[in-house]
Structure 1
Amino acid sequence: MSDGFTRERAKALLEQWTASASLVKHGLSVSCCTEAYGVLEAERLGLSGAPFDAFVDKYAIAGLLHDFDYDRHPSLEEHPYVGVKFLREQGWPEEILHAILAHADYTGAGRDSHLDKALFACDELSGFLTACALVKPSKSIMDVEVAGVRKKMKDKAFARAVLREDITGGAELLGIPVEDHIGNCLRAMQAKAAELGLAGVPI
């Protein structure tokens, strides 16, 4: 993106505001999945070259910044409002700020744009896929399969903090079967396994 509102700057903000290593990884994984939907949508719109790159960057940046204020301001009264206010003062694009507001149910922000829908759809699922990888003996996302993820979703004791209805509801918002949604995010995370710390360990 132009005007200095880049992925690199977004990642730096995430790391600067976030002491929790797992929360930084969450931002990276949500960004990875949301970016994959940016690519699909840019292709559907027939974009190419610089417009394609700028379009996809918005999706990646929204993922990086959606929880960047959470470590410092975890209450419902403050997150994501404090972060959005800071970003607005810095001049970040409004469509990214709206998507960040819309990822939280309690803000009342409508999920209108494709970016809004993609960010919401990827938030809980990326965390669930990470949990699925970490219970594998290899601790590798490469060993996670869609069918296994669907099975784990039915196990209420597994990763119980993850809202299953947000995963299924996110797929509905995007207008695709939940299996396709899982597959899209799984492939995106597998492609960046090392960056996400999910490449695994020797068994």
Structure 2
Amino acid sequence: MDRCGWAGPEQIYEEYHDTDWGVPEYDGRALWEKLVLDGFQAGLSWLTILKKRENFRAAFHGFDPNIIAGWGEDEVARLLGDAGIIRHRGKIEATIGNARAWQKIEQQQGFDRFLWNYVGGTPLQNQWASLAEVPAQTPLSTQISKDLKKAGFRFCGPTIVYAFMQAVGLVNDHLVTCPRHAEVARLVTERKAP
């Protein structure tokens, strides 16, 4: 397979590229999990997060924002002692605050609708021929970042948000030379936006 140049050489990275990255995600809880993980990735490689993803899921109770929203200093201290995750106080505390922000959006309109409305419910289909063409952020990721921050989210700058948009299929940023570009584009007709 002629994968996107960033995917590899480690198998976990190739599997992520081949099965997960860019696939439209419509579940509000799963969207929140991926946004949190992208926030933890800030300053680190995505490979580091991938290798620790199952540890994160265990430590954060399956990324259930309704549980995490009720956490306080005891849980922060527990997580700071967990070598299986990224032990960064600011990111851990942001995750708790982000869970509370998620609850508000989820109650008002649904977190999935909140995000998918930015693209009219249909993933944007980019046509990049090389990695050099792929932006780190866009005016849309900047707008979503501002709106998330206004809603109480942290660790969601425009670059983090664009990486998130790519991961959850709000945009299809597989290179046109990658077989996954066409495969992911076909998923648009197979899945329905909220």
TM-score (normalizing by structure 1) = 0.38
Q: Relative contact order, CA 8 A, sep 6+: which one is greater?
A: 2
TM-score (normalizing by structure 2) = 0.39
As a proportion of its length, which structure holds more helix?
1
